[in-house]
Structures are given as structure tokens and as C-alpha cells.
Amino acid sequence: MLKPKSIEGIIAFILIIVCVVAARFIGSEILVLAVFIITLGIYAWRKYDSRMLVGAAIFLLVVCAALLASGSEHYANDVAIRAYYFLVVGVLGLFIEYLGGEGHEIELRKRVYLIFYFALSIAVLGILLKSGYILSLDMIFGPSPKPDFYGLHGPPVHGGGIWLYALIQLSSLVAPTWVIQKLFLLLIFFISGVSAHSLIETKSSVPRYFAGILYMINPFIYVRFLAGHWGILFAYSITPFAIKYFLKFLNYPSRRNALKVLIPLAFISVNAHVLALNLLALFVIFCFKAAELRLKIKKVIPRLALLALAFLAINAYWLIPLATTEETLVQQITERDLFVFAPRGEGFSVPYSLATMYGFWRGGYTYTKDIFPAWHLFFIIILFLSIHGFLSNYKNRKAQSFVAIGIISFLLAMSVLGPFSQLFENVSILRGFRDSQKFVGLLVLAYAYLGALGVNSLLSHFKRNNKKILSISIIAIALVTPIAYNFTQFGFWGQLQPTDYPADWYQANEILNADNQDFNVLFLPWHLYMDFRFVPNRDKRIANPAEVFFDKPVIQGYNLEVPGIYTQSTNPGQMYIQSILSSGEISGENLRLLNVKYIMLAKEVDWAWYRDALERSDLELIFDSENLMIYKNPVQVSRFYEADELPPEALEPLDYKIVSPVEYEVTGDNEKCTIFVPPNLDSSDWVLDGKEAPAGFYAAWEDRGGRVRYSQFRTYEFSYIISLLSPAAIVGVYLLVRGYPKRKKFWAFTRDWLREGF
């Protein structure tokens, strides 16, 4: 006779079989997702081991790899989807178990909100969870992600996201990149809801749900998703955690609480804009709490200084290269940029549009307000709850600070159209925002926090007076209002559709990969943004995805092409190619100094003009399909040449060895000059045996061959070492000061931190 534990184990295994069978025979993807969610709920309820779900995912990934190796791509794709579902529910199940810790069983009802936000996240993404990439304006994923570890494309002005892209690249080795993309997008919505939920400290759970739903479903996150700003949204989702732990740190400035602040800030630093917003919010909170702290302030400030030092050390990998560079993209931003990217009124005044969490600079998207005339009513409810929340807690320093955060972010969001226009024109940090509607992210947080206080105040009042009907009404309003205010976020109203790249793109990639030479591919048309026919979205304009799709190095246009601004790129190679295209004189010889062996032309937008120019050249057409044409350069190309004089008239290829992407060894003639085509098409910071080269898109030295290095990488190398050693040093000092017995593991602290957050 089977023991109860054995029966439970069999049931857990049967549930996995049910999921697989459902995925095989149920036609609706939504119903399949529902089966997986129900399975997760049963696992959490019955406390089954969620490692079984993760094990199922790993097993299916192995099957997927075997199918790919055998050439069964269609079946491999289906198996990868199921592995993705199992991985999601399995990780979430482990997460719930982990929060409980050893000897602390969690009742399902205490953590049900985790399942709620996870289910809501799935409902928001809806059909977008189907197989295929989600491609939008700036959200470009492909099978060949290429993180810039070496700083070849300039300083990291957008933040420290290199580790995130490295994680995507590493994950793409075991799962399709579109699966990794869906996991990140799912996490964005899930963490947004959970983090805002955990920020609210009320006895009733209703205010927490109001804050979580509003922070997760609103016009700001909606339009940023449509515009593909997933990096901004990833950092945005973690922001409430940073604020929560900072508030706790101010009340109890221990090293332990300082560490809890450091962790979310380290994740938020993937985006410099959202990091700046967080620092602004933390500064405002500190100013309001300083008066309340009084005598404690002497203890807080030294700990705060140590926290700042630790943060700088962990983020050295991008802060040092950014601080030591001579020129960044911010210097290219002018007053014209500020007006081009200024917030829009969306049919109303700019202040009202921003106050309602709209105002994104780019039009063409369908919002709830466009199809639901009564949308103003739901905004009035949100505004009323926020105002009431402050008025009922006006003596509370936290409430005061969130009001200040909301007002400051609202005024700054107006940019050059508001009272702080001079600041945006003269202060580089503010000018770096350019698209000032990002400040609305803090306004959403203020609405969520203050609105939750308003809900709590009303509920408390009605319960004290035993008014059950009004209490139920407030609960319904609190839960329904955020969803009704932005219901188009569910499935994004059909404006986005998952897709794969055309088959001939994969075929073209195979053709390029068959050539083992070290060369560049020039991708045309020469636009950063353009409409691609294969994109099934309502708005087909996306950033050129060639770099993340093709395995070989691709040269593509970085020309912004917005009103009054053609390009802000200062790269010499970009300028040289633009001059060639402007003259219409495309030839194998004038592409030689770019090491361009193949020219790829996508049959999109103004491609006919480029085709005509290429047909007049000496380039050879070797591939022509529905979406692409490939031309081959008949002239022999190389990354290194030797020449009799400078500037070079005749070029002879040189033999060389690739030590790394930033270091080469080349052998040349003692009496000839060495010519080098840098991977970034910019001779700056490239040295031959310590000697610099004249500025240009290629490097030239009046010397024979030697060792060519990218000297700027030393800065990155030094920064990486600091950032990698800092966490170990911080943890070591923390444990040393705390005097932890060896038997206590640091993971216990991590578990406690997560339990407090979730």
C-alpha cells in the first residue's frame, strides 16, 4: 500500500503530465497558460516540491536541443515554449518556498498576492506570450545578442545594463532568445505589482492591491512598453523596493538595512535615467525625514556615506568609464532635442496630459482614453484617493515626502514647456533626460502610495461606522479603477504581435557564416529606425535589428532622423559611409577601408534607391530573396593593410592574429605604413606598440607591424575588477563586523530580506 507521501509525489508528477497533454491537445494558448497557473496553485497549496517543475523544464530544454540538432526546428520551437512555461511556474514556486525558509511553512493565503500578480502579469501579456519575438520601437531582440564588454561603442551613458545583456547572451545558449525576452517582460510586470504592494504598510490588504495594480497597470508603463523601453521598465519595477528599504534604513540605520538598500539600487542602475529618478526620490525622502530624525541624523549620515561608497564601488564598471570619457551623447543634446522630445498634450494641455500619466512625445498609439470617453472619471477617482490619502495623513513625513515627489516629478516632466526650462537647457543631468516624460514614473509611484493611504482611510472610517455596503464599494473601486483606467494594457489592444524573423534572414545569416574571414557587413537602407514588412505590429517602425540578428559584425546607420535632427553620431565611420551614400558612388574600393566584404540590402522603405546605386557599382549580387539582397565586394578586404604612403593609395592586406576584440598582432614591412580598420570604425584610443594614430575611421601608423590595442579598455578592465571584488568585500566586512558565527550562512540574510520585501 502506498504511503501518503508517495501518493502526493505521484500526484505532483501527474500534474506535470497534465500540463504536457494540455499543451499538446488544447488549441487555445490562454487555456494552456491557465492549466499551468492552476498547477502552480496546487503545488503551492499542497506544498509539492517545485523543483519537479524546474526539472521538467530542464528535461524539455534537453529535448529541444536534441530536436534542433536533428533539424526538427518546428517541434523544437513547440517544446521550447512548454519548457518556458514550466520554468516560469517552477521558479515562482521555488521562490514562494524560499521565502518561507527552513522550518517556516507559509500558508498559501499569506502569499496569495504573489500568485495574483503573476496571474495578472500573464493576463497583461496575453497573446504576446506565444512563441516569437516582441519587436517594437526600441525593443529589439534577436538570436545573436552582442553585449559591448569592451566599450567599443562609447561610454555607457544609458547605465550599467551590461550585466543584463550578458545574462541574456548567456541564457541564449540554453534557450531561444525570445524565451528569455518573455521571462524578462513577465518579471517586469510581476515585480512592479509586488514591489508597490510591499511598499504599503497597512493592516488591510486592499490598499496594497490598489497600489500594486496601479503601479503595474497605468498609461506610463503601457506606452513605455509599446515604445520598447524595457530597460527603463525593469528599473522602474524595482523602484518601490529601493524606497521601502531606504525608509527602513532611515529609521534603523544599521549595516544590515544599508545592505538591503544597496541591493535594489544595484539592479536599478541598469538604467541611468531611472537611477537618477530614484536618487531624486531618496533625496526628497531624506530631507523630510531629517527633521524627524534629529539626534539620529548624526548616526545616519556616516552610514549613508558608507552606503554611497559601496554603491559607487559596485557600479564602478560603468561609472568610471562614463566619468573619465571626454565626450558623451549628452553633449550632442541641444535645445532642439528638448523640444522634439518634449511631452505632448494628447488633445489636452501638456500639464493635464502629464497629470493623467500620459504625455509621451511620440504619437500613433491607441490608449484607453481614445476609445473610452469616461476615462476622466477613473482618473478623478485616483486623484481623489491620492489627495484624500495625503489629507488624512498630512502630519506623516512619508506622506509629505511622496506629495513632494509627485509635485517635483510633475513639474520636471514638463521640461522646456514648464517652469524649469532653464534648468533643462543648462544642467547636463536634466538635459540628458531629453524625453522628460520619464519623470511621470515617479508621479505614478506617488499616486500609488498616496492613493493606497486614501483607500485605507476610507475603509477604516466605514468599518468603524459599520457601513458594510460602503466598505464593499470602496474595495470594488480600489481594485477596479486602475484596471478600468488603462484596460488597453491587456494584450496591448492588438498593437503588438509576437513574430519571428523571415526565413530568408536566417538563410542570409548562414551564407555569411560560411565565410570564415574576419570582415564587416554593411546593412542598408541607411536608417536607424524604419518600417519592416515582416513586423506584424500596427506600427511597423522599429530600430534596425541587423546587429542583434546576424552573427557577423554589422555596420548600420545610427541616424536618428527626427524633425531637425538627422544624426547625433560622431563616429567617423558613420560620417564616411554617409558621404559615400550622399555621392551615390558606392564601389568595392571605397568600402575597402571599412573591411566591408558583403553589403546586405533589406527590401524595405526606400530600398529601390540603394538597389539602383548598387547595380551601378562593381559589387556582385550573390543572393536575392523576398526580403533581402546580398552583394559581395570583389576587392580583397582585410582588417590590416600596408601602404607605401599616407594617406594610402594602394593597399596590400596583411597577416594578423586576433588576440581579443581589443587586441591584435600584425606583421608588416619595415618600410611601409600599417593601416588598421578598428571594429568600432574610430581610430581614437587605438595604439600600435603604444603609439596613437591620427583621428579618423581607420588607424594609420608610419611603422611596421606590432601589437595593436584599444587603450581605453584598460579603464573598463580596472572598473570591472573593482565591481567584481566589491560585493565580496562588502559581504566580508559585513560578516566581520557583525561577528557572524561560521555556521550562519549569508543566504539566511538574503532570505530574510526577500521575505520582508514580498
Instruction: Go through the chain and tell me how many residues it has.
Output: 758
Show the cell assigned to 460. Answer: 477604516
Show the cell assigned to 632. Answer: 559581395
What does the pLDDT average to over 71-97? 73
Q: What is the pLDDT of residues 287-323, one digit of tens each?
A: 998 877 776 777 888 889 989 999 999 999 999 999 9
- For 719, phi and psi rounded to 5 degrees? -65, -40
Tell me how far the alpha carbon of residue 386 is from its chain's centroid.
Answer: 29
What does the pLDDT average to over 530-555? 96
What does the pLDDT average to over 188-211? 95
Using only C-alpha atoms, what is the Rg of the chain? 28
- Cβ–Cβ < 8 Å for 631, 599: yes
Q: 709: which strand partners?
A: 663, 687
- Examine the pLDDT at 102 and tell me if it is beyond 80: no
- Cβ–Cβ < 8 Å for 381, 213: no
- The secondary structure of 439-508 as a DSSP string is GHHHHHHHHHHHHHHHHHHHHHHHHHTT-HHHHHHHHHHHHHHHHHHTGGGGGGGGS---B---HHHHHH
What pLDDT was estimated at residue 107? 47
- Cβ–Cβ < 8 Å for 673, 700: yes
Which residue do the cell numbers 505614478 mark? 444
What pLDDT was estimated at residue 488? 95
- Examine the pLDDT at 640 and tell me if it is beyond 70: yes
Which residue do the cell numbers 555556521 mark? 743
Q: What is the pLDDT of residues 88-101, one digit of tens each?
A: 788 777 766 655 55
* Peptide bond connecting 545 to the previous residue in cis, omega within 30 degrees of 0: no
Integer Cα distance of 237 and 217 in angstroms: 11
Q: 598: which strand partners?
A: 521, 632
What does the pLDDT average to over 565-590? 92
- Cβ–Cβ < 8 Å for 205, 219: no
- Cβ–Cβ < 8 Å for 139, 248: no
Q: What percent of the chain has pLDDT over 70?
A: 91
Confidence at 103, pLDDT banded by 50, 70, 90: very low
Pick left, alpha or beta for residue 364 (phi over 0 → left; psi -120 to 50 → alpha; otherwise beta): left
What does the pLDDT average to over 335-360? 92
Q: What is the pLDDT of residues 442-454, one digit of tens each?
A: 999 999 999 999 9
Confidence at 417, pLDDT banded by 50, 70, 90: very high
What pLDDT was estimated at residue 89? 80
What pLDDT was estimated at residue 753? 53
Show the cell assigned to 134. Answer: 516582441
What does the pLDDT average to over 317-344? 88
What does the pLDDT average to over 480-488? 94
3 state DSSP class of 270: coil
- Cβ–Cβ < 8 Å for 53, 89: yes
Tell me how far the alpha carbon of residue 683 is from its chain's centroid.
Answer: 30
- Examine the pLDDT at 1 and tell me if it is beyond 50: no
Task: State how beta strands 596-602 and 520-524 pair.
Answer: parallel
What pLDDT was estimated at residue 189? 97
Integer Cα distance of 185 and 447 in angstroms: 23
Mention every residue, 6+ apart, whose C-beta is less than 8 A from residue 71.
none
Q: 632: which strand partners?
A: 598, 620
Q: Which residue has the higher pLDDT, 179 or 614?
A: 614
Lowest mean pLDDT among 1-15, 501-515, 537-551, 621-635: 1-15
Confidence at 686, pLDDT banded by 50, 70, 90: very high
What does the pLDDT average to over 642-649? 82
What pLDDT was estimated at residue 540? 96
Q: Please give the mean pLDDT across all residues of the chain.
A: 88
Q: Is the full-model pTM beyond 0.85?
A: yes
What pLDDT was estimated at residue 738? 60
Query: How many alpha carbons fall within 13 Å on the CB side of residue 423?
Result: 13
Q: Which residue has the higher pLDDT, 385 or 644?
A: 385
Confidence at 650, pLDDT banded by 50, 70, 90: confident
Q: What is the pLDDT of residues 524-539, one digit of tens each?
A: 999 999 999 999 999 9
Show the cell assigned to 8. Answer: 502526493
What does the pLDDT average to over 51-59? 83
- Examine the pLDDT at 76 and tell me if it is beyond 90: no
What pLDDT was estimated at residue 572? 95
What pLDDT was estimated at residue 346? 79
What does the pLDDT average to over 737-745? 52
Can you point out the beta strands (E) in 618-720?
620-624, 628-632, 640-643, 652-653, 656-660, 663-666, 673-676, 686-688, 691-692, 699-701, 707-710
Max distance between CA atoms of the chain, in angstroms, equals 97
Using alpha carbons, select from 186, 138, 142 the residue that is nearest to residue 33. Answer: 186
What pLDDT was estimated at residue 302? 87
What pLDDT was estimated at residue 630? 98
Which residue do the cell numbers 541611468 mark? 272
Show the cell assigned to 313. Answer: 564601488
What pLDDT was estimated at residue 56? 86
What does the pLDDT average to over 407-434? 91
- Examine the pLDDT at 673 and tell me if it is beyond 60: yes
Query: How many alpha carbons fall within 13 Å on the CB side of residue 743?
Result: 0
Show the cell assigned to 670. Answer: 619595415
**Is the C-alpha dihedral spanning 481, 484, 488, 489 positive or negative?**
positive
Integer Cα distance of 719 and 727 in angstroms: 13
3 state DSSP class of 565: strand
Mention every residue, 6+ apart, whose C-beta is less than 8 A from residue 19.
35, 36, 39, 56, 82, 85, 86
- Examine the pLDDT at 714 and tell me if it is beyond 80: yes
Q: Which residue has the higher pLDDT, 61 or 222?
A: 222
**SS3 assignment for 73-134:** HHHHHHHHHHHHHHHHHHHHHHHHHHHHCCCCCCCHHHCHHHHHHHHHHHHHHHHHHCCCEC
Show the cell assigned to 690. Answer: 603604444
3 state DSSP class of 709: strand
Q: Which residue has the higher pLDDT, 630 or 176?
A: 630
Q: What is the pLDDT of residues 11-44, one digit of tens each?
A: 888 888 888 888 777 766 667 777 887 888 888 7
Mention every residue, 6+ apart, whose C-beta is less than 8 A from residue 355.
383, 410, 443
Number of other CB atoms surrounding residue 11 within 10 Å: 12
Using alpha carbons, select from 655, 677, 664, 675 the residue that is nearest to residue 707. Answer: 664
Mention every residue, 6+ apart, whose C-beta is less than 8 A from residue 221.
189, 192, 215, 233, 236, 444, 489
Find the DSSP H helices in 327-467.
Answer: 335-340, 350-355, 368-371, 375-391, 397-413, 421-426, 428-431, 440-464
Lowest mean pLDDT among 180-194, 294-308, 380-394, 573-587: 294-308
Using alpha carbons, select from 331, 311, 314, 274 the residue that is nearest to residue 155. Answer: 331
Q: Which residue has the higher pLDDT, 45 or 686?
A: 686
- In the chain, what are the helix, strand and coil shares in percent, each to the nearest 5? 60, 10, 30
Tell me how far the alpha carbon of residue 215 is from its chain's centroid.
Answer: 18
